[in-house]
Amino acid sequence: MVTRAPLDYDLICAPAEPGEAEITVDKVKNILSRVRSWYAWVVLDLGRLGRFSASLLGVVDELIVVTKTALPDLYQAKRTIEALGRAGIDQARIRLVLNQMGSEIPITNGELRSIFGIAVYAALPDSSDELRSACLKKRLPPESGTVRREMAKVARRMAGLPQIGPKGMLLSLAQRFRKPAAAVAPPSEHPGAEL
């Protein structure tokens, strides 16, 4: 089931209720093969690397490992990147993103590269107050806020697009990555859209 989300994104959600039928890897691969041609981008949130998510590694182009900068989180990220390497994933496909980066972290980018074996792709600043406020209001963080601005930078970099210039010179992220209307029919018009 495809759901239209804010900013004109379409979501396919996993069952949210305990006790609902388990989603199998084959079902996910089937859905991905059907929807991949409808969208310019498909983003999967695989959560922590486990048996299920590891089974899907062959169908993804790029992997983003997101970690906080606390030592236990960095250790877990290192273990994840090592497991991806053992699974045959080329390091060039892995993007390491440090979330909630504060000025207090005593480790340099060079030291992080030495620890992980890959460069830090992006470092997102701590925006916990902004996220908390948006969550309490049941809204997305403001477009002018740090969270949305920094996420747009990461997305533009991954897409190979130039970074944002002076304020007002950029279409919204959703508009920029959307396929032209003529190129994409809504999912309801595609064969097999009953997913």
Q: The domain that contains 149 carries what CATH number?
A: 3.40.50.300
Per-residue confidence (pLDDT) for residue 177, from 0 to 100: 56
Residue 103 structural domain: 2-189
Distance CA 52, CA 14 (A): 13
132 lies in some domain = yes
Q: How many domains does the chain have?
A: 1
CB distance 189 to 31 below 8 Å: no
Per-residue confidence (pLDDT) for residue 42, from 0 to 100: 83
pLDDT (tens digit per residue) in 7-51: 677 877 776 666 666 788 898 888 888 888 888 888 888 888 888
CB distance 76 to 45 below 8 Å: no
Per-residue confidence (pLDDT) for residue 96, from 0 to 100: 92
77 lies in some domain = yes
176 lies in some domain = yes
pLDDT (tens digit per residue) in 49-92: 888 888 888 888 889 999 888 888 889 999 999 999 999 999 99
Is the pLDDT at 106 greater than 50, yes or no? Answer: yes
194 lies in some domain = no
| pTM over 0.85, yes/no | no
195 lies in some domain = no
Residue 36 CB contacts under 8 Å (≥ 6 apart), including other chains? 42
**Highest-confidence range of 94-98, 122-126, 157-161, by mean pLDDT?**
94-98
Per-residue confidence (pLDDT) for residue 176, from 0 to 100: 54
